[in-house]
Structure 1
Amino acid sequence: MSGIVIIGAGEAGTRAAFALREAEYGGAIAMVGTEPNMPYERPPLSKPLDGAVQMKAICSAEALDAAGIEYFPGRSVSWIDPHERRVVLSDGQALAYDKLLLATGARPRQLCCPGAERALDFRTFADASTIFSRVESARTVAIIGGGLIGMELAAVLRGKGVAVNIIEAASRPLGRAVPARFAQSLHARHVEEGAGFYLGQGVAEVRSDSVVLADGKQVPADIVVAAIGVVPNIELAQAAGLATDNGILTDSFLRTSDRHIFAAGDCAAVAQPGGGHVRFESWRNARNQAETAARNMCGANETFAAMPWFWSDQYDLGLQVAGVPQPRHQIVLRSLDGGVLEFYLEEGRLVAAAGLGTGNSLAKEIKLAELLIMAGVNPDPADLEDPAVNLKALLKTARAA
């Protein structure tokens, strides 16, 4: 019997399966996952508890059974037949579909240098287990890549007393996604904690005991971790004849070039109002896209317009970014007891906000800033700068207007 098939059992795929039931879809739902375990969340992988990597389940087997979701763990999809509307699994089993959701996610970008196979990935539970088990006997770890994943891992390892060196091709770490002020603050905190940095450096070779930089310098390392970003898993979509680029191209309703096939999560590149397609990589984005895609597969006509948002915990510092800050934006700074907020204005309109503070101290302020952004306000910069002006009051005024 045909129904809805979901390829991918990560955050997007699993959330979409349950969202289908919440939308009162009564047909068959099948979800295929390449890993052998129950679906789990990735953010906790970088935060071991009592030395053990955490596998925080997204749902239980009982919850899947209760919702009537058939789960196929430890299996991949060999190919998609869009004409017959079916997928063929790695064990030869075929699943027919009325609608198909591609939630295939992304995989670590690979190093291209001699010895690249010696570098460990950091994406899955198995990856994390390998890294943290080896760390117990390691003296030094080299992390190639100074993005969020690399820096979060470095903070955890420094907390364990492990010597860490971060190698980054750019002139500063966290340069792609994090506002400059906060990137500098986090960089400085890592230096204070004893992490070493090799910036503006390419990698020439990975050896058994070191990383050789492009300038010939050797960075000692018992363990090498590659954290140089991810690439979307689009091969199945390409083989099925779907439109792809840096992701599986969708319209604003998360439909691919085949009207029976949708995409969500790290693999999806979504059409933007101003033109082009954007692929967002975050836990919240995966959930929001999954829910929108699920409703649209049930017959809704809902555009995906959720606000980009991500967070990062490094040492005792918490970073949150809502919206997409750009260099062209006017920046308004608000200093608070718990940390610092930045507001980003474009032609007077509030379009993004970010905060860095101790723990979760700025979470409430960032949430209020999100609501202000969604309200489309043009606030007085002086009000944003003044910590005595309550953001909740600004929101109330905006809603009244």
Structure 2
Amino acid sequence: MTSIVIIGAGECGGRAALSLRDRGFDGAITLVGAEDHPPYERPPLSKDGIVAGADPRFIANLGDYADKSIELRLGASATRLDRVNRAVELDSGERLPYAKLLLATGARARGLPGDQAECPRVLSLRTHADALHIREHLTHDSRLAILGGGFIGLELAASARRLGAYVVLLEGLPRILSRGVLAEIAAAVAARHEAEGVDIVCNARVETLCASDEDIRLTLSDGRVIEADMLVVGIGSLPNVELAAEAGLAIDNGIAVDRHLQTSDPNIWAAGDCCSFPLAHYGGRRVRLESWRSAQEHALIAAANLVGASETIAAVPWFWSDQFDLTLQVAGLSTGGTRSVRRDLGNGAFIIFEMNDVGLLLSASGIGPGNAVARDIRLAEMLIASGRSVDPAALASPDIRLKALLAA
């Protein structure tokens, strides 16, 4: 019987397994995951996972996997990939044979070097267990230090403030959200955080870190001393490529795949946070995306191609972040943009469009309360996908509907 093994029981791996059955695949499916939980969504971890200590938001019930004859191997890790004999070795010593293999190994939080990473009060946020551990230390008037001004750090800061904690966020670069978010959008986010009492320190250089079982003491290069009950490190992530690399698969900022998510081995695919792939909309530029939507889209494409289809990655990158009452949404990639156009939507909401020299729309970044920018970002995403030049004046005018531009 044809068998498919999926390594990685996160959002991508779980949805790929379920999609295989939806596509009529009737062979054996084994889904291997290192956590004890079945696949769940990770975006809520920095929000409800912190504020309410909520249970994971599972993508399916355990019974659904049983009903679809999907074998779950939870609390298990793959330690070796035998490409010659098409088998995966687990940490238990068991070997799982496969006809086709999907690597959905995800990414892990980038940690601090040295012994500080082992301190019980130096934490990261990547799993449900991480969220519960952080929440244990968050009480009214507790002191939280966050290292890193990216999405994880900022979302955590917003959640901690809702619980009444004092928060200082340290960013080593001149501004927060320096990766993938325009400066004007980042400034709006920073202003909202500061209004809520978050102490944001940019250009922060940590000279010394003294961590004990009781507290954390950080000394910055300017002499400022930060004392906290807990330090959460949010300085990026690393794709989990070790299994693939040791097996000789091509690596390029992740497991390198083609536009069909196929690796350098024709019997192995990779999807989600662990892989890098070419984007047709951006001249074949190879990217690695860590986003909820990308994980879902990759799952469906991988499942289709594992059973003989030839689907390609065609979606425009999209991601979002909720912080306090603000929602930030970004469609596309701004790399290569030479002109910016702002569209004001009222009530403090606005969108910045990035275009190239010939008027091709590359990205749209919006921020505002609630769903204020959602519709226009969705339409902008469709404009980007169309590959057409757009009149900058029309983009700037709130009186001209983006839907009309799309239909033109």
With the shorter chain as reference, the TM-score category is: over 0.9
Deviations 1:87-108 (CA, angstroms, capped at 9, x unpaired): 1112222211111000000000
**Distance in 2 (alpha carbons) for counterparts of 1:213 and 1:141:** 16
Deviation for aligned residue 1:295: 1.0
List aligned pairs for 1:215-230, cutoff 5 A: 215-230=222-237
**Distance in 2 (alpha carbons) for counterparts of 1:147 and 1:210:** 22
Aligned to 1:247: 254
Deviations 1:303-324 (CA, angstroms, capped at 9, x unpaired): 2122111000111000000001
More divergent stretch after superposition (87-96 vs 76-85): 87-96
Deviation for aligned residue 1:136: 2.1
Equivalent of 2:289 in 266, 280, 288: 280
**Distance in 1 (alpha carbons) for counterparts of 2:284 and 2:300:** 23
Query: What SS does the aligned partner of 1:24 have?
Result: coil
**Distance in 1 (alpha carbons) for counterparts of 2:285 and 2:85:** 31
Aligned to 2:311: 302
Q: Does 2:238 match 1:235?
A: no
Query: What SS does the aligned partner of 1:166 have?
Result: strand
Aligned to 1:389: 400
Gaps of 5+ in 2: none
**Distance in 1 (alpha carbons) for counterparts of 2:61 and 2:116:** 40
Q: 1:333·1:340 contact (CA, 8 Å) conserved in 2?
A: yes
Deviation for aligned residue 1:231: 0.2
Deviation for aligned residue 1:2: 4.1
Q: 2:53·2:131 contact (CA, 8 Å) conserved in 1?
A: no
Deviation for aligned residue 1:388: 1.1
List aligned pairs for 1:307-322, cutoff 5 A: 307-322=316-331
Aligned to 2:178: 175
Report the RMSD for the aligned CA atoms in angstroms. Answer: 1.7
**Distance in 2 (alpha carbons) for counterparts of 1:271 and 1:32:** 27
Q: 2:138·2:163 contact (CA, 8 Å) conserved in 1?
A: no
Deviation for aligned residue 1:66: 2.0
Deviation for aligned residue 1:337: 2.0
**Distance in 2 (alpha carbons) for counterparts of 1:230 and 1:331:** 29
Deviations 1:252-277 (CA, angstroms, capped at 9, x unpaired): 21111111010000100113454553
Q: 1:75·1:89 contact (CA, 8 Å) conserved in 2?
A: yes
Deviation for aligned residue 1:240: 1.0
Aligned to 2:384: 373
Q: 1:15·1:287 contact (CA, 8 Å) conserved in 2?
A: yes
Amino acid of the structure 1 residue aligned with 2:72: Y
Amino acid of the structure 1 residue aligned with 2:132: S
List aligned pairs for 1:2-401, cutoff 5 A: 2-48=2-48, 51-112=52-113, 115-118=116-119, 119-136=122-139, 139-207=142-210, 208-273=215-280, 274=283, 277-326=286-335, 328-338=337-347, 339-346=349-356, 347-397=358-408
Deviation for aligned residue 1:214: 3.5
Q: 1:53·1:128 contact (CA, 8 Å) conserved in 2?
A: no
Amino acid of the structure 1 residue aligned with 2:305: N
Amino acid of the structure 1 residue aligned with 2:164: G
Amino acid of the structure 2 residue aligned with 1:91: S
Amino acid of the structure 2 residue aligned with 1:370: E
**Distance in 1 (alpha carbons) for counterparts of 2:226 and 2:114:** 15
Query: What SS does the aligned partner of 2:48 have?
Result: coil
**Distance in 1 (alpha carbons) for counterparts of 2:244 and 2:88:** 12
**Distance in 1 (alpha carbons) for counterparts of 2:25 and 2:82:** 24
Gaps of 5+ in 1: none
Query: Residues 351 and 316 from structure 1, CA distance in 2 versus in 1: closer, same or farther, beyond 3 angstroms?
Result: same
Q: 1:101·1:263 contact (CA, 8 Å) conserved in 2?
A: yes
Deviation for aligned residue 1:114: 5.5
Aligned length: 397
Amino acid of the structure 1 residue aligned with 2:151: L
TM-score for the superposition, normalised by structure 1: 0.95
Q: 2:101·2:268 contact (CA, 8 Å) conserved in 1?
A: yes
Q: 2:315·2:385 contact (CA, 8 Å) conserved in 1?
A: no
Deviations 1:3-42 (CA, angstroms, capped at 9, x unpaired): 1100001111011112212222221111001001121111
Deviation for aligned residue 1:244: 1.2
Deviations 1:54-109 (CA, angstroms, capped at 9, x unpaired): 41111111111222211111111121111000111122222111110000000000
Deviation for aligned residue 1:116: 3.3
Q: 2:279·2:313 contact (CA, 8 Å) conserved in 1?
A: no
**Distance in 1 (alpha carbons) for counterparts of 2:261 and 2:181:** 27
Query: What SS does the aligned partner of 1:244 have?
Result: coil
